[in-house]
A and B are shown apart, each in its own frame.
Chain A
Amino acid sequence: MAGEQKTYQPDIEYSFSLTEISRCCGVKTDEILVLVAEGVLSPRGPSQHEWKFGSGDLGRALSALRLEHDLGINPAGAALAIDLLDEMQQLRERVRLLESMVFQR
């Protein structure tokens, strides 16, 4: 390994099938299906077998599962938390942006 410096080509526009995203999250497909039903994840594709989850879905799924597990909330509660966290994140960015414009110089 020493001396060998390989450059890794990352994959940014990857997508997952239902089985793949379940495996990445370490859960059964049922738990992912619940997150889809709650609107946390929005796969593209006409049928469940052809569903494609985007790279953003993985982060949302992991967050939702961690919240469910760590805080003892159900999927609907996790979905609400995720939506509110997204909104808070947008508002935080907005505030940061506005503050930096008003107070700079």
Chain B
Amino acid sequence: MDYKDYYAVMGVARDATQDEIKRVYRKLARKFHPDVSKAADAEARFKELGEAYEVLKDPEKRAAYDQLGRNWQAGQDFRPPPDWDAGFEFSGGGQGGAGQRDFSDFFESLFGRGGGFARAAPARGRGEDHHSKIDVSLEDAFNGATLNLQLRVPEYDAHGHLTEKLRKLQVKIPRGVISGKRIRLAGQGGAGYNGGPAGDLFLEVWLKSDARYQVEGKDVFLNLPITPWEAALGAKVKVPTLGGTVDLNIAAGARSGQKLRLKGRGLPVPGEAPGDQYAVLQIITPPADSDEMKALYEKMALETSFNPRLHLGG
């Protein structure tokens, strides 16, 4: 198991005061809190920080940790010396309330699981609810789908060590889910205690980013490239939508960036009006990569008096 340098995790000196440790913890906790930060490693950083603070805020645990000496390096293979904690008494208590903690093996080897206080299972009770995030493709969100999921479930083995078990689950994704929606699988959470009912499993949906479409809520956006003559003269073009290709009339005099709404062509959220699709026009000028094209551009230059920089005084 790896040694953890709790002072380095928090970025404080070994002789930092309790006040200083608390101040630094609060600051970092706000920065890395998984509900606040969108950084990919926020959850891991926050967990690491919580563990470091759990030790350093508590004078007893901090003294015991300091006693291991300062010769250890973070990541170094660690085994607690025999009787390392003789003479220390852990009063336990401390945290509580929401969010059960799971700490590293390093922490547990020093302070025991849960930091010195065991959690008693209620005599008979409902199992815990479990929460997880799932990525859903836009196509599956639009059509509905049956997904095979693999969830990593932390579990305690027979020896009381925390392990991760892979759980395979087949779930029907309903038509019209959008990012941030939670779906519930009743009775698929933690097992009940002594015959109590199992908890529920909540899956928070995240739509995967799509090469073609961007999604905002239930509306779908698509960049639609058109030629200068289609923009100038108007045209009927084919536009892909989640539900299949449709024809779209572009009026003469169309501009780049113009949004054309395809009503009801977004995500079909149950119980609400369906979202819309927007085709965002992008006028693409053809490259002058042949003599014919060059001649056409030169002809336009000669025969038109178009000046896009007029308003700049050019």
Task: Tell me whether B186 and A11 are in contact (CB under 8 A).
Answer: yes
Q: Which of A3-36 contact B (CB under 8 A)?
A: 5-14, 23-27
Q: Which of A65, A92, A94 has the most CB of B within 10 A?
A: A65
Q: Which of B15-53 contact A (CB under 8 A)?
A: 26, 29-30, 33-36, 38, 46, 50
Interface: A46 (CB within 8 A): no
Interface size on B, residues (CB 8 A): 49
Task: Identify A59's interface contact among B146, B182, B188, CB under 8 A.
Answer: B182
Which of the segments B2-10, B153-161, B198-206 contacts the partner chain? B198-206
Interface: A44 (CB within 8 A): no
Chain B residue numbers with a CB within 8 Å of A71 are 26, 29-30, 33
Q: Which of A47-99 contact B (CB under 8 A)?
A: 55-56, 58-59, 62-63, 65-67, 69-72, 81, 85, 92-94, 96-97
What total of A-B pairs shows CB separation below 8 Å? 103
Secondary structure class of chain B's binding surface, majority of residues: mixed
Task: Tell me whether A12 and B216 are in contact (CB under 8 A).
Answer: no
Identity of the chain B residue whose Cβ is nearest the Cβ of A66 in the assembled complex: B35
Task: Tell me whether A55 and B184 are in contact (CB under 8 A).
Answer: yes
Interface: B314 (CB within 8 A): no
Task: Tell me whether B188 and A12 are in contact (CB under 8 A).
Answer: no
Task: Tell me whether A66 and B223 are in contact (CB under 8 A).
Answer: no
CA A13 – CA B174 in complex, angstroms? 10
